[in-house]
Copies of this chain bind each other. A is one copy, B any other.
């Protein structure tokens, strides 16, 4: 059995070896190489490998699945950055900023195909893995579209928001785990519980991310504090605050949304506190975390065997501790 920290270098090595993008056309593959060398936490492929190892030694199919998932994830990052007009990714220029929009679109496309090239190497359970992955990929696109749609909408409900982050973020974590399990020969019931574990873990993780943007310290989260507030992003905190606010508080929030002075973050955080949105957000993180851990406990395997997945989930959810 391997811990997260042990698996990361093993994955990096396999990933680099299975990915000698061709030299030419350079204008197509340089952007791909550039993005991949920026690194990343590799959480999705490691979840796939860990789930696979629950049912035996990590097999080649799982390595291929893990690589495909990481490629797919990076493909979505390239296209999302274009759509979100993001200048930076992991502290460096985004692909379209560095190489232009055309290169961004096309190197994203080809990276998605390279994901399937990895999947095509899977020897057992290929049809079920392909269906699971493709359905998930479609959901990720739907989630991104909802995210874009919500930006220009006046109101978004908490339910809609949870649905959006589930599609955009959580289902790929869930799919990573389920794919690892399936490729390890797991029975449906365990694979589905791992899927639910990943899905709820992903929701909790995203809500925690919303929380940390307002309440974390810059050092810990590695980005500008209050960035979501400055960008008027419809996070769980903002949606919840608007739902719980008195008429007067609602007016104050709306006024803050159209201003951009230096007190904006502090004033909005104060309103998150007063409306109870802060506490509701903490409660929601706990709620989805609890469901996630319950699902993991329900996987019909000895507790000891699930330790590293448990540790990883704990690590992901307690980033401020």
Query: A interface vs B, CB < 8 Å?
Result: 22, 25, 27-28, 79, 82-83, 102, 105-106, 108-110, 112-114, 116-117, 119-120, 122-123, 126-127, 130-131, 134-135, 137-138, 141-142, 144-146, 148-149
Contacts and interface: CB of A to CB of B under 8 A. Distances in A.
Given A28-B145, A110-B141, 18 more contacts: A22-B142, A25-B142, A25-B145, A25-B149, A83-B102, A83-B106, A106-B144, A109-B109, A109-B112, A110-B142, A112-B113, A113-B141, A117-B135, A120-B127, A120-B130, A120-B134, A122-B127, A123-B127
Number of copies of chain A assembled together: 2
- Residue picked from A79, A109, A130, most chain B C-beta under 10 Å: A109
B137 A113 contact: yes
A105 B82 contact: yes
Main secondary structure of the interface of A (DSSP, over half): helix
Nearest to A132: B120
A176 to B, nearest CB: 17
Contact of A130 (B22, B28, B116): B116
A178 to B, nearest CB: 15
Contacts of A79: 105-106, 109
A177 to B, nearest CB: 20
A308 B87 CA distance: 53
B83 A105 contact: yes
A52 B290 CA distance: 52
